[in-house]
A and B are shown apart, each in its own frame.
Chain A
Amino acid sequence: MKSKHQRLILALAALVAIIAAGLLAASALKDEAAYFYVPNDVKTKGVEPGKAVRLGGMVEKGSLRHEADGVTIRFTVTDGKAQVAVTFKGIAPDLFREGSGVVAEGAFDTQGTFVASNLLAKHDERYMPREMEGMQYDETTHQMKGAPKP
């Protein structure tokens, strides 16, 4: 009986140590393993022009402009704290739209505009039927609010 307890304590201690080490390593990676920068990172840390990075955030409502050439689009990416102007030449994914998430791959030019070579659409964790679009999600009650569209 005694040896069984000894083994249990030893195994649990080892497990705790391993998990603590893993989590420590993961949290140390926190900044390095970020898949993309948000506009506020760009503002506070600065990204040198020409360096290939990913920029993620929301496409600001009302900011999307189509250029005269028909393939270039301009829009603003925001994270609520800072904004970055983005231009992209090419075909955007279906889910790319104003007010929705986006991850842009590319680099900053010398004027501070982000020139994207590829766009990825990022959706959030909300899933709902089409009829419910435009309704508001309540963070505290986890219910949808507002009347459905006619």
Chain B
Amino acid sequence: MHAFANPAKFLSLARPLTPWLFWLGLTLILAGAACGLFLTPADYLQGDSVRIMYIHVPAAWLGMGGWSSMAIAALVQMVWRHPLAGVAGRAIAVPGALFTAICLATGSIWGRPTWGTWWEWDGRMTSMLVLLFLYFGYIALARASAEQAGGIGDNGGVSRVTAIFALVGAVNLPIINRSVVWWNSLHQGPSITMRGSTIDSAILWPLGLTMMGFSLWFGAIVLMRMRAILAQNKVEARLARRAREA
């Protein structure tokens, strides 16, 4: 772990990795989407609208996975004081919020032809909307604390309060996951569980491609944003030193 504590070491790995993740991810997304749009059969009940699943499910997974990673980064930041943990947490927030929004939007579009409604306040949809607001809160908090500190500084501008917010917000994750089991909801129960999948393999298989593709692409975006924060930090540090010398 501490091999990456040095930002220079991290950058020597992140620089070549970024384009690989990006293009590999994009290729897998396009392949999965093409297969899901044109090759797989329609669902017996939902018809063609089931094809929205190939983007809705990866978006849900990354929206929730993003916050899990931010919570882990916050823990690492507070306990081990790892200099890159805050940078990572802050870099995840924007793509995490994006995927949560995509999950909500595609779910809404999917709900209209299948359930007969754009939006209902059921447990799953409400808790997912809460996650989106949590992301907005984190982004605003991180920005405000960086501004107050007069620059990005250590931890990528993620103050202790922001890190604690990421940890506390993680409470929402098991609630989202269990919402369709605990409460009578319009959203169906989980299809893919530890015991197997209730989605027939003829419909399921492109989902693996888009899941993998969006995850790699998410990684590429996080690396880009981390590199941007580190470079910006370097600029700020240099300018500050120059001002002191002058």
Q: Interface residues, chain A, CB within 8 Å of chain B?
A: 4, 7-8, 11, 14-15, 18-19, 21-23, 26-27, 29-30, 33-38, 56, 92-96, 100, 103, 119-133, 137, 142, 144
Collect the chain A residues with CB atoms within 8 Å of residue B117's CB: 120
Chain A CB within 8 A of B203 CB: yes
Collect the chain B residues with CB atoms within 8 Å of residue A34's CB: 183-184
Selected interface stretch from B27-35, B39-47, B95-103, B233-241: B39-47
Chain A CB within 8 A of B245 CB: no
Given contacts A19-B171, A127-B191, contact A142 B196 (CB under 8 A): yes
Chain A CB within 8 A of B167 CB: yes
Given contacts A7-B79, A121-B114, A124-B188, contact A18 B199 (CB under 8 A): no
Name 15 extra pairs, CB < 8 A, besides A22-B171, A96-B116. A11-B78, A18-B167, A33-B123, A35-B120, A36-B184, A95-B114, A119-B116, A123-B46, A123-B188, A125-B198, A127-B191, A127-B204, A128-B43, A129-B203, A130-B42
Give the nearest-CB partner of A101 in chain B: B188
Query: Residue B202 contacts which of A22, A36, A94, A129 (CB distance < 8 angstroms)?
Result: A129
Beta-carbon contact of B171 and A129 below 8 Å: no
Collect the chain A residues with CB atoms within 8 Å of residue B167's CB: 11, 14-15, 18
Beta-carbon contact of A133 and B44 below 8 Å: yes
Collect the chain B residues with CB atoms within 8 Å of residue A21's CB: 171
Beta-carbon contact of B200 and A127 below 8 Å: yes
Chain A CB within 8 A of B149 CB: no
Beta-carbon contact of B114 and A23 below 8 Å: no
Count of CB-CB pairs between chains A and B under 8 Å: 137
Beta-carbon contact of B116 and A125 below 8 Å: no
Interface residues of B in 71-94 (CB under 8 A from A): 75, 78-80
Collect the chain A residues with CB atoms within 8 Å of residue B168's CB: 18
A46 to B100, CA, bound (A): 38
Most chain A C-beta atoms within 10 Å of own C-beta, residue among B185, B189, B190, B199: B185
Closest Cβ of chain A: how far from B241's Cβ, in Å?
Answer: 30
Chain A CB within 8 A of B2 CB: no
10 A-B residue pairs with CB within 8 Å: A18-B171, A23-B174, A30-B182, A33-B183, A35-B122, A95-B114, A126-B199, A127-B43, A128-B44, A128-B203
A100 to B188, CA, bound (A): 12
Beta-carbon contact of A7 and B78 below 8 Å: yes
Collect the chain A residues with CB atoms within 8 Å of residue B170's CB: 15, 19
Beta-carbon contact of A26 and B184 below 8 Å: no
Given contacts A26-B182, A122-B186, contact A95 B75 (CB under 8 A): no
Closest Cβ of chain B: how far from A22's Cβ, in Å?
Answer: 3
Closest Cβ of chain A: how far from B120's Cβ, in Å?
Answer: 7
A142 to B172, CA, bound (A): 30
